[in-house]
Amino acid sequence: MTTVTLIRGDGVGPELAAAAVTVIEAAAVDITWEEAVAGQEALEKEGTPLPPRVLDSIRKNRVALKGPITTPIGSGFRSVNVALRRELNLYANLRPARSMAGIKTPFKEIDLVVVRENTEDLYAGIEHRVGPDAAESIKIITRQASEKIVRFAFDYARKHNRSKVTAVHKANILKLSDGLFLEVARQVAGDYPEIEFEDRIVDNMSMQLVQKPQNYDVLVMPNLYGDILSDICAGLVGGLGVAPGANIGEELALFEPVHGSAPKYAGKNRVNPTAMILSAALMLDHLGEGEAASRVRKATEAVIREGKRVTYDLGGTAGTAEMAAAIADHLKQL
């Protein structure tokens, strides 16, 4: 039996977490959930959105599944998501984007994986005011973190029979910071001669993704570019509601959908659970339950393809719980 830390999150997070638990139980995977409260509820009760016991639980269990947590804009506490990644050294953010039949989008046959460095760049949060009318943010790029993330991307490509890795940067302008990232990427690529390597400037990469995304496979990049381009990739396949995510370190891993907490929909049983369920499938892969993960994906894709018991954004009238139940039903048939 495997114990997994379950963080239900804010807004629609608890409904999505319940949907994922329903599906995993239908997949007959032997998991025990250890619940930990983070986000707004923890802030109100304990004065911090990320109590130490949450980190302790993840360190003990080594794996966590998390619903979305609200991040205030412009003021208030810093992102719990960023803090979790930094405190637990979850240096690799994995964001697959794959087309599914039944989802309306002008793009077909998309199968991309964004590998985003998770711990530094502008997201290190080193910033300060310069008088009343200016502010500075410091961009940190290190050789060590760059090598770890690029090697992660190539190892992922090798393990999953991917043929190409593309490093994304802005080294034409940021010659020292992004220049270092590109230098390291080129060096690491030499250790993987069977995998094609190329690099793209980030603005050109953005255009390439909406013109000919089928030309790309695994994309690796620093933190900020990864945040932006992974959302573009999600848009190609139907939006954030179907985009899973994983944050992986050397010893710990946390799995979560990449969309927000949508507080206006909280408790209304309306939000698409696909991203949360597919994030749980990534977790099953990580736990060595590859067969169960494959069944979860097939059942999810079958429900979306049929288009009957799906949420409003997919053209249906089902609620969050009803769509999860439909996926669970398909799992039992499989």
Last residue of a domain, one of 210, 236, 262: 236
Query: Stretch 151-163: mean pLDDT, rounded?
Result: 97
Question: CATH number, domain at 137?
Answer: 3.40.718.10
Asked whether residue 133 falls in the same domain as residue 217, the answer is yes
pLDDT(10) > 70: yes
- CA–CA distance, 295 with 194 (Å, rounded to integer): 30
pLDDT at residue 82 is higher than 90: no
User: Contact at 8 Å (CB) between 170 and 202?
Assistant: yes
Same domain, 325 and 280: yes
Between CA 126 and CA 271 the distance in angstroms is 35
Would you place residue 160 in the very low, low, confident or very high pLDDT band (cuts 50, 70, 90)? very high
Quick one: 207 and 130 in the same domain?
Answer: yes
Query: Which of 236, 264, 279 lies at the terminal end of a domain, its last residue?
Result: 236
* Per-residue model confidence as pLDDT tens digits over 94-118: 999 999 999 989 998 999 999 999 9
- Into how many domains does the chain fold? 2
Buried b (16+ CB within 10 A) or exposed e, 234-259: bbbbbbbbbbbbbbbbeebbbbbbbb
The pLDDT of 10-37, averaged and rounded, is 96
Given the structure tokens 């080594």, which residue do they identify? 62
* Confidence label for 125 from pLDDT (cuts 50, 70 and 90): confident
Beta strands 92-98 and 111-117, pairing class: antiparallel
One domain, residues 75 and 114: no
Report how far Cα 220 is from the mean position of its chain's Cα atoms. Answer: 14
pLDDT at 89 over 70: yes
Domain that holds residue 50: 1-97+239-334
pLDDT tops 70 at residue 288: yes
Other beta carbons less than 10 A from residue 325's beta carbon: 18
Residue 79 pLDDT level (bands cut at 50, 70, 90):
confident
d(CA 243, CA 274): 8
Mean pLDDT, all residues of the chain: 94
Same domain, 128 and 9: no
pLDDT above 90 as % of the chain: 88
**Residues contacting 163, CB < 8 A, separation 6+:** 157, 195, 196, 217
Could you tell me if 219 and 273 lie in one domain? no
Query: Could you list the active site residues?
Result: 123, 170, 203, 227
- Domain shared by 82 and 112, yes or no: no
314 and 210 in one domain?
no
Q: Judge contact between 88 and 254, C-beta under 8 A.
A: yes
Q: Which residue type is seen at 62?
A: R
Looking at the fold, whether 232 and 243 belong to one and the same domain comes out as no
214 with 308, same domain: the answer is no
Unique residue bearing structure tokens 């390597």: 197
Q: Of all residues in the chain, what percent carry a pLDDT higher than 70?
A: 98
* pLDDT mean over 239-261: 95
Bridge-based pairing of strands 196-201 and 164-169 is: parallel
pLDDT class of 70 with cuts at 50, 70, 90: confident
Strand partners, 199: 167
Antiparallel, parallel or unpaired: β 2-7 and 31-35: parallel
Same domain? 144 vs 39: no
Q: Which of 236, 263, 295 is the last residue of a domain?
A: 236
Segment 171-193 mean pLDDT: 98
Residues 110 and 228 in one domain: yes
| pLDDT band at 78; cut points 50, 70, 90 | low
Residue 83 pLDDT grade (very low, low, confident, very high; cuts 50, 70, 90): confident
